[in-house]
Amino acid sequence: MNFNKSQELYKQGLEHLVGAVNSPVRAFSSVGGNPLFIKKAKGSKIIDVDGNRYIDLVLSYGPMILGHRHRKVERAISKSLKYGYTFGASTENEIKLAEIVCSAFPAMDKVRFVNSGTEAVISGIRLARAFTGRDKIIKFSGCYHGHQDALLVAAGSGLATLSLPGSKGVPDAAVENTLISTYNNIESVKEHFKKHNDIAGVIIEPVGGNMGVVIPQGSFLEELKQLTLQNGALLIADEVMTGFRSKFGGAQELFNVEADITCLGKVIGGGFPVGAYGARNEIMEMVAPLGEMYQAGTLSGNPIAMAAGISTLNELKKQNPYETFEKVAGKIQYFLENSAKKYGVEITVNRFGSMMNPFFTCEKVTNFQEAQTTNTDKFAIFFWEMIRNGVFLPPSQFEAWFLSSALTKRDIKNLEIAIDRSMKAVSKSI
């Protein structure tokens, strides 16, 4: 397996693209080596410019839940293209997709489509502030909600109350209303409510997907909901990753929690740039043109993206692949744990529905601090060995793997072989 053309494109890209990429994780910084450049994909496979073929467990970080270029989705896109690309005006498909999305979330009466998960979260937080008349937002260390200034925050020295900008270019003033708590630690949230009476909302990924896959423990989410109710704040669920991934709808229902505002993306666009935020009527009627919270977007509700989203969700509902996802994810977990035991490698595997990943640590991982006990050097070895064995993984220990309904029995067998070989390579580095 060679990567000559990818290396050539990387060198060319350095001249006019920042780091030769348009999103930092694509740079392969945490695993070393040069990034791969992709040429095409179909079904469960993705193919790079050198012709190397991989089982795709990245799936564009989640949206390709049916696999690449599903025939029904392609047909819907082709049909929509014949009528035009964008109009800056309303179309019938916006109404159709809104009906599908709202029907899948019991607490959602109205939805507003935007162009990305980041935009959905920005708008959801603005809405929480508008509705409550308050300014402060609580977020959790390790949960990523897009690159907006107010949420690019890291906890300083593990102190749950200290908010520091996590990126150059973010002024202190931009994060002064952002409070940091520890995921799965309800006491860290209670402390903020004791000290502040102007908290508009708490934003959380119901299942963490950007510190690896981290699952809420016990009644954590239910207690969080009760805490917001008691203090007049709103619970904002960032289901950009988890939406439609574990069931037809969101993770909230599985954990018996209804958020006040839900932010979506990924799957609802069927591979196109789409985000959304929604809530019950009394909250959403704060949004212009019904209310005084302004949010707009020329390309929001793009007709081609709406067509792809409708087709994807209709097919997903028809397939109902969630029981199969659970079985396949269980098999992959077994492959990982069995091979690790066989070669004496310490790992912890976390999974939720069609999302999963292994941490190279013997510690239980329930928050960002525990996730950081993982051995990222071992992950880098594992990553490249999986690439050489035909499996495309996210080039970061802290990104979730995703499954698609296009995976075949042969793919699963090949995954078993690749995992065993890759874990053996890791063991030789110990």
Active site residues: 144, 238, 266
Degrees (nearest 5) of the Cα angle 192, 205, 373? 85
Listing from the earlier edge strand, what are the strands of the sheet with 391-392?
38-42, 45-48, 53-56, 391-392
Strand pairing report for 53-56 and 45-48: antiparallel
- E strand intervals along 353-405: 355-359, 391-392, 401-402
Using omega within 30 degrees of 0 as the cis cutoff, is the peptide bond preceding 289 cis?
Answer: yes
Identify the three-state secondary structure at position 131.
helix
Cα-only R_g, the chain: 21
CA distances from 181 to 133, 156, 159, 186, 392 (A): 22, 11, 9, 8, 33
Write down how long the chain is: 430
Which residue in 253, 309, 277 sits closest to 102, CA to CA?
Answer: 277
C-alpha 120/C-alpha 174 separation (Å) is 19
| C-alpha dihedral sign at 275, 160, 23, 365 | negative
Reported as half-sphere exposure (CB side, CA atoms, 13 A), residue 347 has a value of 29
Q: Rounded CA gap, 159 and 185, in Å?
A: 13
| Residues 143, 208 contacting (CB under 8 angstroms) | yes
Strands 136-140 and 110-114 come out as unpaired
Distances from the Cα of 330 to the Cα of 307, 325, 366, angstroms: 33, 8, 19
Those residues whose C-beta lies under 8 Å from the C-beta of residue 5, and which sit 6 or more positions away, are: 37, 48, 49, 50
